[in-house]
A and B are shown apart, each in its own frame.
Chain A
């Protein structure tokens, strides 16, 4: 079955660049979206169509993709950015739609 693979955790100091990757065989042809989930809250869309940022999301959040790897970058990470981050995409058939396993971002 299709999988999207994320690192379990990423840790950075405040002001540093945080990068979270998402690997999947279908990503060269399928776009990815990214979600931020703070403790006890519902997920929030931060990136869609690989690199588009919804209104209201800070400019320090950006997305990119190279081949089978999508990347969420947080430039100048802040303590308030501490959260779990999930990527989402589908396989080439569109029959398997799934989230990655999630990455816990620690900023300290």
Chain B
């Protein structure tokens, strides 16, 4: 059964770099038409897609976050990671990783990790 699990620091200082890892279990990340995504949700607010990575390393980012975000993949560990630089309080959110099916007919996220809360505060 495919499962995803986020890990990383729960507290990050303003202007520092946020780093999270998603560990995928139950299936190899080397699967065609499947991307691996990061999505976040500020407390009490809606969902925001951050970006995707393919097992080959190709990436897609939300344009407004592109200058601060990097997503990488390590297929040997079946993991992918999110790095976000110069964080502010506005980056405080629950961060989710998810499998992103993307083909000619449509795209969707399933399953999702349980999420990890990252608070930006000094």
Q: Which residue of A lies closest to B64 (CB)?
A: A1
Whether A42 lies near B109 (C-beta < 8 A) is no
Task: Please give the distance in Å from B84's CB to the nearest CB on chain A.
Answer: 17
Whether B96 lies near A43 (C-beta < 8 A) is yes
Q: Which residue of A lies closest to B96 (CB)?
A: A42
Whether A88 lies near B109 (C-beta < 8 A) is yes
Whether A54 lies near B110 (C-beta < 8 A) is yes
| Given A42-B114, A95-B63, also A102-B109 (CB < 8 A) | no
A37 to B49, CA, bound (A): 15
Whether A49 lies near B109 (C-beta < 8 A) is no
| Given A42-B112, A97-B62, also A90-B107 (CB < 8 A) | yes
Helix, strand, loop or mixed for chain B's interface?
Answer: strand
Which bracket fits the contact residues of B? 20 to 34
Whether B109 lies near A43 (C-beta < 8 A) is yes
Q: Given contact pairs A30-B106, A54-B110, A97-B60, enumerate 8 new A-B contacts (beta carbons under 8 Å).
A: A42-B113, A43-B112, A45-B110, A86-B46, A90-B107, A96-B63, A97-B107, A99-B48
Chain A, range 78-108, C-beta contacts under 8 Å to B = 86, 88, 90, 95-102
**What 0/1 readout, one digit per residue, does chain A (49-67) give for beta carbons within 8 Å of chain B?**
1100010000000000000
A38 to B112, CA, bound (A): 14
**What residues of A have a CB within 8 angstroms of the CB of B49 in the complex?**
88, 97-99
Chain A, range 2-60, C-beta contacts under 8 Å to B = 30-33, 35, 37, 42-45, 48-50, 54
Task: Please give the distance in Å from A6's CB to the nearest CB on chain B.
Answer: 9
**What 0/1 readout, one digit per residue, does chain B (27-39) give for beta carbons within 8 Å of chain A?**
0000000000000
**What 0/1 readout, one digit per residue, does chain B (99-112) give for beta carbons within 8 Å of chain A?**
00100011111111
Whether A45 lies near B109 (C-beta < 8 A) is yes
**What residues of A have a CB within 8 angstroms of the CB of B101 in the complex?**
48
Please give me the 8 A-B residue pairs with the lowest Cβ-Cβ distance, nearest first: A31-B106, A33-B108, A45-B110, A48-B108, A49-B106, A99-B47, A42-B112, A102-B46
Partner of B105, one of A31, A37, A44, A90: A31
A103 to B113, CA, bound (A): 22
Partner of A102, one of B47, B96, B110: B47
